[in-house]
Amino acid sequence: MAAQANASRVWIGLDDTDNPDSGCTTATFDDLLKYISHIDGFEIIERRLVRLWPFAERRTRGNGALACLISCSKESIPNLEKLLSNFFDELVLDLNVEMNDMTSPALLYSYEELNEDLYWEAVRQKVNLNVRRNSLDSVKILSLDSDWGLIGASSAMAWKSIESSTWELIAWRFSDNIGSQREVTSSVVKKMESLFPDTFVNRDPTADKGLIAPRTPCPVLYGIRGATSQAVLSAHEWLQSNQDTEKCERYAIHRTNQLSDDHILGYSSATVLTKPVETKGAHSSLDVFSHGRKITLVAFKEGGDVNRLLRRLIPGDRINWLGLESPDGSIHLERLKVESSLPRIIGRPICCNDKTMRSAGSNQPLRCLSCQKIVEKHWLFEDISLTGIELVDGWAEPTASQRRHLSKPLLLGSPIKFANKVV
Ligand SMILES: [Zn+2]
């Protein structure tokens, strides 16, 4: 281990280098690591793909940032710094940043571990750019006047993987293929899923559609998510050996915070206060009493069963919910459950002419004012209808293609357990 005594640990982060028409920060970061790999004593300890707050103002699709932890020999540090600086200068030229206000790249590096709070802030709420910049004293920042990328880059550096953190293998296309349709069929993905059960969110079974290949003109061929690095690697090798699947130019395995539910503040129970309001675009919302205050819960059309279940609620229903607070203060639901132990009171029994039977007072029976029939005082109950809604332990969730990268699928465990992990 003599080499280690002479080695420095370096955290490197990169974000905001892509634009909607081309490029992908994942591929740019891979280019960077390839250059760094020529440095003496270089070793990658961990590569990270980190997803951040879904409502961030400046975000790319999926709001992901890249980071890595490397070890390199102390003598090589000046070379490393020079390489990072040159790489950033070339990147700015390549991106034509001055002509393009969609990107504001930042490349950061640090010889000290960053405070994990920087990650938690950025995965759960809006980050103020000036505050963030001022909190990075020990970090070397390569950026331009517009440096939004430092939020994602620093947050990805500050994230700490844990044993349950997931993995994603990203395979990139040969440059000649970029822009053409990807050759990764739904049936091959289906077979891969059955052969490698430790991979997940590869397909949307409700639409029988593969989810691993993006539909944008970016350089990514596919991303395979899974519980272990071996699982994603084996699945990738199998896919590449399949003669109908497009061959990749290169690939890399990342540790990720996907499926962690880290963006969710916690699990809550609530009592429904109002009837659902259905808005244009098939969204729905209602007010509940939760955490000692009135909160508006919103479900979107894309929420699928969450939206369907919300629309069947009536005042008085007891529910459990998971979601995240949007900038307007409402909660955007990610999962929803009705407490089935309490039946709904729908009213007194009905008699002649659809008239409700009434009681003359306490200890008095119910009477029909038309036919004078008398019955013992009681309420009518009903159970909420859950037909047509798919539930796991009572919980509804969006379909796989509509779930956020950060969200834990119900089949992988109880949402309460994960949401309570850190509160
Ligand atoms: Zn009657």
Q: Is the dihedral of CA 136, 137, 140, 141 positive or negative?
A: positive
Q: What burial class does residue 188 get, using C-beta atoms within 10 Å of its C-beta: 0-12 exposed, 13-18 middle, 19+ buried? A: middle
The residue out of 222, 256, 290 marking a domain boundary is 256
Query: Is the domain of 200 the same as that of 170?
Result: yes
Q: Specify the 3-state DSSP secondary structure of 410.
A: helix
Say if residue 298 is in the same domain as residue 407.
Answer: yes
- Cα(378) to ligand 1 centroid in Å equals 16
The structure's pTM equals 0.86
What spacing in Å lies between the alpha carbon of 364 and ligand 1's midpoint? 17
Give residue 349 CA to ligand 1 midpoint distance, Å. 10
How far, in Å, from the CA of 373 to the mean position of ligand 1?
A: 6
Give the residue from 158, 188, 206 where a domain finishes.
158
Examine residue 263 and state whether it is found in any structural domain, yes or no: no
- Exposure of 46 in the CB half-sphere (CA atoms within 13 A): 19
For residue 379, report the distance from its CA to the centre of ligand 1, in Å.
17
Is position 10 within any domain?
A: yes
Q: Are residues 358 and 274 in the same domain?
A: no
Same domain, 294 and 409: yes
Centre of ligand 1 to C-alpha 354, Å, is: 9
Distance from Cα 374 to the centre of ligand 1, integer Å: 9
CATH number of the CATH domain containing 281: 2.40.50.1010
Separation of 358 CA from ligand 1 center, angstroms? 11
User: What is the number of structural domains in the chain?
Assistant: 4
Task: Indicate whether 137 and 208 sit together in one domain.
Answer: no
Question: For residue 365, what are the domain limits?
Answer: 344-382
Amino acid occupying residue 102: M
Phi, psi of 76 (to 5 degrees): -90, -5
CA angle 109, 46, 22 (to 5 degrees): 70
**Which segments of 27-165 are extended strands (E)?**
43-51, 64-73, 106-110, 140-143
Residue 247 in any domain: the answer is yes
Can you tell me whether residue 393 is helix, strand or coil? coil
Task: Judge whether 393 lies within some domain.
Answer: yes
Question: Do 79 and 142 have their domain in common?
Answer: yes
Q: What is the CA(350)–ligand 1 centre distance, in A?
A: 8
| Residues 404 and 367 occupy one common structural domain | no
The CATH number linked to 128 is 3.30.70.2200
Assigned domain for 134 exists = yes
Q: Are residues 408 and 376 in the same domain?
A: no
pLDDT in single tens digits along all 423 residues of the chain: 444 457 799 999 999 887 666 678 899 999 999 999 998 888 999 999 999 998 887 766 668 899 999 999 999 999 999 999 999 999 988 887 666 667 889 999 999 999 999 999 999 988 999 999 999 999 999 998 888 899 999 999 999 999 999 999 999 999 999 989 999 999 999 999 999 999 998 888 887 788 899 888 889 999 999 999 999 999 999 999 999 999 999 999 999 999 999 998 777 899 999 999 998 767 999 999 988 899 999 999 889 999 999 999 999 899 999 998 888 889 999 999 998 766 788 889 999 988 899 988 888 999 998 999 999 999 988 888 889 999 998 999 999 888 999 998 988 876 655 444 433
Ligand 1 centroid to Cα of residue 369, in Å, is 7
Q: How far is the CA of 377 from the centre of ligand 1 (A)?
A: 15
Tell me how far the alpha carbon of residue 362 lies from the centroid of ligand 1, in angstroms.
21
Show which of 131, 158, 185 is a domain's final residue: 158
